[in-house]
Amino acid sequence: MAIAGKTDPDNKEEKAPEKGLMDEKYSLRIEELRRIRAASLMGGGKDRLERIHNSGRMTARERLHYLLDEGSFVENNLIIGHIEGIPADGLIAGYGKINGRTVCLYAQDSTVKGGSIGPVHGFKMYRTVESALDMGVPFIGLHDSPGARIPDMNSKSVFGEAMEKHGGSIFYPNTQASGLIPQISAVMGSCAGISVYSPALTDFIFMVDKQSHMFITGPGTVEVVMGEKPTKDALGGAEIHCKVSGVADRRYKTEQEMLSSIRELLDYLPDNADSCPPAGDLIDDPGRFTDELTDIVPSAASKAYDVRKAIAVLVDAGQFFEIKPEFAPEIVVGFARMGGRSVGIVANQPCFLAGSLTANSSDKQTRFMRFCDCFNIPIVLLVDTSAYLPGSEQEQCGIIRHGAKVLYALCESTVPRIGLVMRKAYGGGNLGMGVIPAQVGTDFLFYWPITELGVMGARAAVELFFGETIRNSDQPEKVRSQLLQEYEKRYANPMHEAAYNPFINDVIEPRETRRVFIRTLDFLSTKKRPPRYSKRHGNMPM
């Protein structure tokens, strides 16, 4: 044992190492580290990376660097798996910045074990979402995996068999993060099995035409079990999921276009549920009149028009980020800015099914409104609907159940909400589009002077209630015209209703619409969220 002030010659730990030996050790280890890092950065190797390029795709690392601000990516666990020849275990994970804002993200590397999910791969997925949740920042997953990896019995992984289920445990942080941080999934290749459930739990899913696929069981299994022979695109391609199933939110021609779109979407969203969306630059006059609306929206309630044109006039610089544009086109939802403030827009689309509400449109509307409510994004309702679509097909699809979701979302919502009836709101459409403030909590409600209200259109109502009187009269056309004028004056005139209904804040001219919206949104910006009843959670009709 060494004594203070003296040196024990037998204590080798106290001897200063020779300078040359120390330098050599550092040199060897640093050289080894650099070699391992370089190998890990090459993923599955030069040949496999070239095959990716030859197919017209980007590698996993190229996707991350394209998505993020230049030089901002910081990777976790780069050298994990190098001993077993599985660079990064097929998952490139870490954090970076998009337009200066921090995000946590990962990209599955299809050049390593096909991008399949093993225990370490799954654990890295789990930790990435968990880190995003801990830091209160958005999460983005770039998915390119066939599903679970076949276990390697000879693997020396320290995780062992106990970790084999961590590919599925990603569902837990996805669920915990829901409503707390925005979660975005980009499907870059063919994903199956557990690889599609994590995206399905996130807020948005983007796909690439002819390249992205999502299915529970691939075409080979379907052929063996069911005798069908579907192609990948027919079974679970981007078009199917964006137009038919509604699983995905948007599709793109190229990976680059999709990744750029994710950057654009984030500009409308906050970092987390406790913050507000970032304010955009004031690129449009808040006091601008919108005279074009009288040309876009016909006064005749039966004439069709594209509501997207009206939206483009109302929002800042005509910029509108639409969600699910191909699914349930009878309703239009998406993000925009008004006076620099991020808003969520829900609008009936009169050029599809006369803007009727359907089972599919109800799902689309509900999902979008609940996202806005989670993340402090005010909702603007542009109403022009002929009510819920009648018929046995809709009843058998469960229109009652799906329509109830809309009512649930409206009543549950606490963010600022403004409604405008542009032209018509018939029957149950008044409820489904939040036109009855006392029952569903819309903060401000405005009408245009041409607005028609009631159980149904004036002409249909006159025929239903007075059809026999008209047919039995000596002058049926004259009687019909008189009854129609009387009905419209009494029941379909917003000035008449506004004179008695205190829940109608104002009847406005179309040209005033944008400035009225911006003024109202500014007033509602300090709205406090009301206290809720104490409970675990509601049981939303599903």
Residue 466, Cβ density class (10 Å: 0-12 exposed, 13-18 middle, ≥19 buried): middle
As a whole number of angstroms, the distance between CA 105 and CA 143 comes to: 11
Q: What is the pLDDT of residue 21?
A: 57
Give me the pLDDT at residue 469, please. 82
- Which of the pair, 521 or 217, is modelled with greater confidence? 521
- Which position has the token pair 């939206």? 311
pLDDT of residue 7: 46
What's the pLDDT tens digit per position in 377-436?
999 999 999 899 999 999 999 999 999 999 999 999 999 999 999 999 988 888 999 998
Strands (DSSP E) contained in 297-409 are 320-323, 331-338, 341-348, 379-385
Largest CA distance in the chain: 129
- Beta-strand ranges (E) seen in 173-246 are 183-187, 190-192, 204-208, 213-215
CA-angle at 121, arms to 118 and 123, nearest 5°: 105
- Per-residue tokens: 296: 């876009």
Tokens representing 469 are: 């009187």
Q: Is the pLDDT of residue 165 over 80?
A: no
Q: What is the pLDDT of residue 4?
A: 44
* pLDDT at residue 19, rounded to an integer: 55
Report all structural domains of the chain as residue ranges with CATH numbers, in order of start. 32-151+158-266 (3.90.226.10), 293-457+492-524 (3.90.226.10)
Query: According to the model, what pLDDT value does residue 155 have?
Result: 56
pLDDT tens-digit map of 307-360: 999 999 999 999 999 999 999 999 999 999 999 999 999 999 999 999 999 999
| pLDDT for residue 3 | 45
Confidence of residue 100 (pLDDT cuts 50, 70, 90): very high
Which residue matches tokens 């009408």? 447
* Cβ-based neighbours of 200, under 8 Å, separated by 6 or more: 247
Query: Token digits for 440?
Result: 């569903």
Dihedral, CA atoms, 29, 35, 38, 41, nearest 10 degrees?
-80
Asked whether the predicted pLDDT for residue 533 surpasses 90, the reply is no
78 within 8 A of 72, measured Cβ to Cβ: no
pLDDT greater than 70 at residue 1: no
Which of the four pLDDT bands, split at 50, 70 and 90, describes residue 6?
Answer: very low
DSSP designation for 256:
H
What count of other Cβ atoms lies within 10 Å of the Cβ of residue 136? Answer: 15
194 neighbors 119 (Cβ within 8 angstroms): no
DSSP 335-355: EEEETTEEEEEEEE-TTTGGG
Lowest-confidence segment of 58-62, 168-172, 462-466 by average pLDDT: 462-466
Which of residues 219 and 57 earns the better pLDDT score? 57
374 within 8 A of 339, measured Cβ to Cβ: no
pLDDT digit string, tens, across residues 354-368: 999 999 999 999 999
DSSP string, 116-167: -B-HHHHHHHHHHHHHHHHHT--EEEEE---SBPPP-TT---TT-GGGGGGG
Mean pLDDT for all residues in the chain: 90
Q: How confident is the model at residue 481, as a pLDDT?
A: 84
Question: How much is the pLDDT for 23?
Answer: 80
- According to the model, what pLDDT value does residue 489 have? 72
> Which long-range contacts does 46-51 make (Cβ < 8 Å, 24+ apart)?
48/111, 49/111
Q: Kindly provide the b/e burial profile for residues 54-91, where b requires at least 16 CB atoms within 10 angstroms of the residue's own CB.
A: eeebbbbbbbbbebbeeebbebbbbebbbeeebbbbbb
Q: What is the distance between the alpha carbons of residues 437 and 418, in angstroms, rounded to a whole number?
A: 10
pLDDT of residue 219: 87
Count, residues in the chain: 542
Residue 161: pLDDT band (50, 70, 90) is very low
The average pLDDT across 29-52 equals 94
Judge whether residue 301 has pLDDT over 90: no
How confident is the model at residue 399, as a pLDDT? 95
Confidence band of 496 (pLDDT split at 50, 70, 90): confident
Tokens 């009543």, residue?
411
Would you say residue 283 has pLDDT above 80? yes
The helix/strand/coil state of 389 is coil
Amino acid identity, position 212: S
Structure tokens at 282: 């004031």
Angle between helices 513-524 and 307-314 (to 10 degrees): 60
CB 348, CB 307: distance < 8 Å: yes
**pLDDT class of 157 with cuts at 50, 70, 90:** low
Give percent of the chain with pLDDT exceeding 70: 92
Quick: pLDDT tens for 444-486: 999 999 998 877 767 777 777 777 788 888 888 887 888 888 7
Residue closest to 43 by CA, chosen among 29, 59, 58: 59
Query: 84 and 115 in contact (C-beta within 8 Å)?
Result: no
**Predicted confidence band at 193 (pLDDT cuts at 50, 70, 90)?**
confident
- pLDDT of 14: 54
| pLDDT on residue 515 | 97
| Single-letter code of the amino acid located at 283 | I
For residues 113 and 60, give the distance between their C-alpha atoms in angstroms, rounded to a whole number. Answer: 13
